[in-house]
Amino acid sequence: MLKIVKTSDGSNTIFNSEVGENYHSYHGALQESKHVFVKSGLQYFLDKSETKQISILEVGFGTGLNFLLSADYCFAENIQLNYTGIEAYPLTDEMISQTGYNEYVTVDLWQEFIKNYPSSLQNPIEINKACHLQIANAKLMNFQSNQKFDVIYFDAFAATYQPEMWDEAAIMHTLQFLKTGGVFVTYAITGNLKRIVKSLGLKVEKAPGAPGKREMLRAYYPTCI
């Protein structure tokens, strides 16, 4: 069962009773998405690389909030965005429409996203000429792609509820899609996660966390950034 719940910053998230977890932090869905993924992932990469185009892979597309905020930022900064989400259990467009996330992005972006969301679960779609979106309706370990990405957002449910998403096999599978010089970000940070990521040749940072968390993990290939 899914239901809309309000988080501490006034933004909504969705509670999944089957998993027993919210899709976002109860300390603030909007704050978490902006801080962990847009600021610490997208903006961090763009500041270092000074490119005008970026590819992002998100593990756990969920409500689409990370995509919407990332696309909105890229539109404002004239950045070409190619975004791929992985989601084993896609929400309906009706459920996403109830989140109220239209308040945080441009009207055009929201309308194009909602209109094209069902199609993006089947094929890549054009939100506009500067933004392409595809959502792979698959479990993480079944996801395959010839593409490598500049930034990976790892936004799975917490390890307490989905431990299989945080084990060595899952992290190794995910990081094979990261470009040399790419950046991996997630809201969580544990000793085991740091060990796995370091073993794959990435430099790990303890970055400041979103409200409610002291730290988060950001990792990148040190030879290029």
The listed CATH number (3.40.50.1950, 3.40.50.1370, 3.30.70.1350, 3.40.50.150) that belongs to domain 28-220: 3.40.50.150
- Which residue in this structure is represented by tokens 């290029």? 224
Tell me, what's the pLDDT at 50? Answer: 84
Q: Give the total residue count for the chain.
A: 225
- CA separation for the pair 86, 66 (Å, rounded): 12
Structure tokens at 32: 């978490």
Cα dihedral sign for 121, 80, 204, 173?
positive
Q: Reduced to 3 states, what is the DSSP secondary structure of residue 32?
A: helix
pTM value is 0.96
Tell me, what's the pLDDT at 222? Answer: 75
Q: What share of the chain is helix, strand, coil (3-state, %, to 5)?
A: 35, 30, 35
Q: What is the mean pLDDT of each run of 10 residues along the chain (225 residues)?
A: 95 94 95 97 94 97 98 97 97 96 97 96 93 97 97 96 96 96 95 95 93 94 61
Describe the crossing of helices 107-120 and 65-76 by its angle, rounded to 10 degrees. 130
Tell me, what's the pLDDT at 224? Answer: 47
One-letter identity of residue 107: V
- CA separation for the pair 157, 161 (Å, rounded): 6
